Chain A
Amino acid sequence: MSQTQMQTSSRAAATAAAPTLEVRDLQTHFFTRAGVVKAVDGVSFTVGRGKVLGLVGESGSGKTVTGFSILGLVDAPGRIVGGEILFHGQNLARLKEEEMRQLRGNRIAMIFQDPMMTLNPVLRVDTQMIETVLAHTKVSKEEARQRARDTLGMVGIPSPDERLKSYPHQFSGGMRQRVAIAIALLHRPELIVADEPTTALDVTIQAQILAEVQKLCAETGTAMIWVTHDLSVVAGLADDIAVMYAGRVVERGAVSEVLDQPLHPYTHGLIGSVPSRNKRGEKLRQIPGMTPSLLSLPPGCAFRTRCPRAQEDCARDPALSELLPGRLARCFHPHVATHGSAVQGSVTQGSPA
Chain B
Amino acid sequence: MSTTSTVRSAASVAAGEAAAPIIELRNVSKRFSKKLDFAGKIAQKLGAPVKDETVHAVDGVDLVVRKGEVVGLVGESGCGKSTLGRMVAGIMPASGGEIFWHGRPLNSLSGAEARHAKLQTQMIFQDPYASLNPRMRVADIVGEAPLVHGLTRRAEWDAYVDNQMRRAGLDPAFKRRYPHQFSGGQRQRIGIARALAVQPEFIVCDEAVAALDVSIQAQILNLFMELRQELNLTYLFISHDLGVVEHLSDRVVIMYLGRVVEEAPAEEIFARANHPYTQALLAEVPRIEARKKSFAGIKGEIPSPLAPPPGCHFHPRCPHAFDRCRVERPALKEIAPGHKSACHLNDKVA
Bound complex: CA A59 to CA B215 (Å)? 11
Taking A204-B76, A204-B281, A207-B295 as contacts, is the C-beta distance between A232 and B287 under 8 angstroms? Answer: yes
Taking A204-B281, A207-B295, A232-B288 as contacts, is the C-beta distance between A276 and B247 under 8 angstroms? Answer: yes
In this assembly, does B280 line the interface, its C-beta being within 8 Å of a C-beta of chain A?
Answer: yes
For residue B318, which residues in chain A have a CB less than 8 angstroms away from its CB? none
Q: Mark A126-152, 1 if CB is under 8 A from B, else 0.
A: 000000000000000000000000000
Q: Is the CB of B288 within 8 A of A277?
A: yes
Bound complex: CA A172 to CA B300 (Å)? 11
Chain A interface, number of residues (Cβ within 8 angstroms): 46
Bound complex: CA A291 to CA B216 (Å)? 9
Bound complex: CA A313 to CA B178 (Å)? 38
Return B75 CB to nearest CB of chain A, in Å.
9
Q: Is the CB of A58 within 8 A of B266?
A: no
Taking A203-B76, A203-B240, A276-B243 as contacts, is the C-beta distance between A269 and B288 under 8 angstroms? Answer: no
Return A80 CB to nearest CB of chain B, in Å.
26
For residue A281, which residues in chain B have a CB less than 8 angstroms away from its CB? 225, 247-248
Q: Is the CB of B280 within 8 A of A273?
A: no
Q: Is the CB of A58 within 8 A of B215?
A: yes
For residue A207, which residues in chain B have a CB less than 8 angstroms away from its CB? 284, 286, 295-298
Return B347 CB to nearest CB of chain A, in Å.
26
For residue B286, which residues in chain A have a CB less than 8 angstroms away from its CB? 206-207, 210, 230, 232-233, 235-236
Give residues of chain B (39-69) contacting chain A, Cβ–Cβ below 8 Å: none
Most buried by A among B77, B186, B244, B267: B77
Q: Is the CB of B247 within 8 A of A278?
A: yes
Q: Is the CB of A58 within 8 A of B296?
A: no
Q: Mark A224-247, 1 if CB is under 8 A from B, else 0.
A: 000001111101110100000000
Bound complex: CA A307 to CA B96 (Å)? 53
Bound complex: CA A275 to CA B76 (Å)? 19
In this assembly, does B5 line the interface, its C-beta being within 8 Å of a C-beta of chain A?
Answer: no
In this assembly, does B107 line the interface, its C-beta being within 8 Å of a C-beta of chain A?
Answer: no
Return A205 CB to nearest CB of chain B, in Å.
6
Q: Mark A265-307, 1 if CB is under 8 A from B, else 0.
A: 0000111011111101101111100110000000000000000
Give residues of chain B (72-88) contacting chain A, Cβ–Cβ below 8 Å: 76-77
In this assembly, does B301 line the interface, its C-beta being within 8 Å of a C-beta of chain A?
Answer: yes
Q: Is the CB of A276 within 8 A of B215?
A: no
Bound complex: CA A189 to CA B131 (Å)? 42
Q: Is the CB of A271 within 8 A of B295?
A: no
Return B276 CB to nearest CB of chain A, in Å.
12
For residue B248, which residues in chain A have a CB less than 8 angstroms away from its CB? 275, 281
* B242 (CB) vs chain A CBs: closest residue: A203
Q: Mark A19-30, 1 if CB is under 8 A from B, else 0.
A: 000000000000
For residue B281, which residues in chain A have a CB less than 8 angstroms away from its CB? 203-204
In this assembly, does A255 line the interface, its C-beta being within 8 Å of a C-beta of chain B?
Answer: yes
Return A274 CB to nearest CB of chain B, in Å.
5
Bound complex: CA A284 to CA B289 (Å)? 17
In this assembly, does B218 line the interface, its C-beta being within 8 Å of a C-beta of chain A?
Answer: yes
Q: Is the CB of B240 within 8 A of A283?
A: no
Bound complex: CA A231 to CA B217 (Å)? 14
For residue A283, which residues in chain B have a CB less than 8 angstroms away from its CB? 222, 225-226
In this assembly, does B285 line the interface, its C-beta being within 8 Å of a C-beta of chain A?
Answer: yes
In this assembly, does B291 line the interface, its C-beta being within 8 Å of a C-beta of chain A?
Answer: yes
Return A151 CB to nearest CB of chain B, in Å.
19
Q: Is the CB of A274 within 8 A of B222?
A: no
* B291 (CB) vs chain A CBs: closest residue: A256
Bound complex: CA A230 to CA B286 (Å)? 9
Taking A203-B281, A275-B246, A283-B225 as contacts, is the C-beta distance between A270 and B215 under 8 angstroms? Answer: yes
Which residue of A236, A285, A290 contacts B295 across the interface (Cβ within 8 Å)?
A236
Q: Is the CB of A259 within 8 A of B215?
A: no
Q: Mark B284-317, 1 if CB is under 8 A from A, else 0.
A: 1111111111111111011000000000000000
For residue B242, which residues in chain A have a CB less than 8 angstroms away from its CB? 203
Taking A277-B288, A281-B247, A283-B222 as contacts, is the C-beta distance between A204 and B215 under 8 angstroms? Answer: no
For residue B293, which residues in chain A have a CB less than 8 angstroms away from its CB? 236
Taking A236-B291, A270-B215 as contacts, is the C-beta distance between A211 and B296 under 8 angstroms? Answer: yes
Q: Is the CB of B240 within 8 A of A290?
A: no
Taking A203-B76, A204-B281, A286-B215 as contacts, is the C-beta distance between A236 and B247 under 8 angstroms? Answer: no
Q: Is the CB of A287 within 8 A of B218?
A: yes
* B267 (CB) vs chain A CBs: closest residue: A280
For residue A67, which residues in chain B have a CB less than 8 angstroms away from its CB? none
Q: Is the CB of A290 within 8 A of B244?
A: no
Q: Is the CB of A202 within 8 A of B76?
A: yes
Q: Is the CB of A276 within 8 A of B301?
A: no
For residue A173, which residues in chain B have a CB less than 8 angstroms away from its CB? 77
Taking A236-B290, A276-B247 as contacts, is the C-beta distance between A287 and B284 under 8 angstroms? Answer: no
Bound complex: CA A202 to CA B256 (Å)? 12
Q: Is the CB of B284 within 8 A of A204?
A: yes
Bound complex: CA A206 to CA B301 (Å)? 11
Q: Mark B128-157, 1 if CB is under 8 A from A, else 0.
A: 000000000000000000000000000000
Give residues of chain B (175-204) contacting chain A, Cβ–Cβ below 8 Å: 183-186
Q: Is the CB of B294 within 8 A of A211?
A: yes
In this assembly, does A174 line the interface, its C-beta being within 8 Å of a C-beta of chain B?
Answer: yes
Most buried by B among A204, A256, A270, A277: A204
In this assembly, does B112 line the interface, its C-beta being within 8 Å of a C-beta of chain A?
Answer: no
Bound complex: CA A270 to CA B217 (Å)? 11
For residue B216, which residues in chain A have a CB less than 8 angstroms away from its CB? 58, 290
Q: Is the CB of B289 within 8 A of A204?
A: no
Bound complex: CA A175 to CA B183 (Å)? 32
Q: Is the CB of B295 within 8 A of A211?
A: yes
Q: Is the CB of A286 within 8 A of B218?
A: yes
* B283 (CB) vs chain A CBs: closest residue: A207
Q: Is the CB of A285 within 8 A of B296?
A: no
Closest 3 pairs (CB-CB, A-B): A273-B218, A275-B247, A232-B286
- 27 A/B residue pairs, CB under 8 Å, sorted by A: A202-B76, A207-B298, A208-B299, A210-B286, A210-B295, A211-B294, A211-B295, A232-B243, A235-B287, A236-B293, A237-B292, A255-B291, A255-B292, A270-B214, A275-B218, A275-B221, A275-B243, A276-B246, A276-B287, A277-B288, A281-B248, A284-B247, A286-B215, A286-B219, A290-B183, A290-B185, A291-B213
**6 other A-B residue contacts (CB within 8 Å) besides A202-B240, A203-B281:** A203-B76, A204-B281, A206-B286, A207-B284, A208-B295, A286-B215
